[in-house]
């Protein structure tokens, strides 16, 4: 099964991607994580991406499309994959369709995470991320067992620099600019399923599992 997770930053895509990847054996492909990994490694791509990430702007399409094609090729032939944070605009969605065509792949579900602004700000300001495996935690909603230590790999947790109020607002603005076009695009393909992402992570996860079982995409 191949999935796309759409939704504003803070809607819980990363958390659900991790749960679904562990529960269903799907490969988790997050463009944000890949870019942050490049940044950490100090690569040319990482340095270029930094200027955009710091401002909450989108990294140029040509760069992320190349990255995603490479990752999809790596994931091809496995159980399936979850795209988290890609596509972010119509140009990326159309490029993705071309990539799928070339490699004879298809998407089963596009899940749209609908979350209120209040939830988004609350989640992003309390979010902590593992420096090593990028797992997400939350100071109140999903605290790690040991303070500042990742439950999964023991790595140190940190607050993403773009999870500050100013950048959060810009990320939301950037997101909302393309969101309706992407929703229309996938609604027309009859692949879209909307989930209320204001619910807690466990409830959202159970809704998703039930949906995959009960409904088959057209």
Choice between 53 and 130, CB closer to ligand AMP: 53
How far is it, in rounded angstroms, from Cα 168 to Cα 164? 6
SS3 content of the chain, % helix, strand, coil (to 5): 50, 15, 35
x-or-dash pattern for ligand AMP, window 9-48, by CB under 6 A? Answer: x---------------------xx--x-------------
How far is it, in rounded angstroms, from Cα 35 to Cα 30? 9
Q: Which stretch binds ligand AMP (CB under 6 A): 53-61, 73-81, 177-185, 202-210?
A: 53-61
**Is residue 127 annotated as part of the catalytic site, yes or no?**
yes
Choice between 164 and 209, CB closer to ligand AMP: 164
Beta-strand runs (E) in the chain? 3-6, 27-30, 81-84, 109-114, 127-130, 136-138, 157-158, 192-196
Beta-bridge partner residues of 110: 4, 192
**Is residue 70 annotated as part of the catalytic site, yes or no?**
no
Residues in contact with 22: Cβ distance below 8 Å, sequence separation at least 6, in sequence order: none
Q: Per CB under 6 A, which of residues 154..213 are in contact with ligand AMP?
A: 162, 171
Out of 88, 123, 128, 191, pick the active-site residue. Answer: 88
Asked if residue 124 binds ligand AMP (CB under 6 A), the reply is no
CB count in 10 Å sphere of residue 20: 23
Q: Per CB under 6 A, which of residues 75..104 are in contact with ligand AMP?
A: 85-86, 88, 92
**Is residue 160 annotated as part of the catalytic site, yes or no?**
yes
**Is residue 128 annotated as part of the catalytic site, yes or no?**
no
**Is residue 13 annotated as part of the catalytic site, yes or no?**
yes
> What amino acid positions are annotated as catalytic residues?
13, 88, 127, 160, 171
């Amino acid at each position: 099964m191949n999935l796309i997770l759409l939704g504003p930053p803070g809607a819980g895509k990363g958390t659900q991607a991790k749960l679904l990847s562990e529960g269903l054996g799907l490969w988790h492909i997050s463009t944000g994580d890949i870019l942050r990994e490049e940044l950490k490694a100090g690569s040319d791509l990482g340095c270029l991406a930094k200027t955009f990430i710091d401002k909450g702007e989108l990294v140029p399409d040509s760069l992320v499309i190349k990255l995603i094609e490479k990752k999809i090729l790596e994931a091809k032939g496995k159980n399936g994959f979850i795209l988290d944070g890609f596509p972010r605009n119509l140009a990326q969605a159309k490029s993705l369709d071309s990539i799928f065509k070339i490699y004879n792949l298809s998407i089963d579900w596009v899940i749209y995470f609908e979350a209120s602004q209040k939830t988004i700000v609350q989640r992003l300001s309390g979010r902590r991320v593992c420096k090593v495996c990028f797992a997400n935690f939350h100071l109140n909603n999903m605290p790690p067992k040991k303070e500042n230590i990742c439950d999964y790999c023991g790595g140190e947790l940190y607050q993403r620099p773009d999870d500050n109020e100013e950048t959060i607002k810009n990320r939301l603005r950037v997101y909302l600019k393309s969101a309706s076009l992407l929703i229309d695009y996938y609604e027309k393909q009859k692949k879209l399923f909307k989930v209320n992402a204001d619910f807690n992570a466990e409830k959202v996860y159970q809704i998703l599992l039930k949906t995959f079982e009960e409904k088959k995409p057209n």
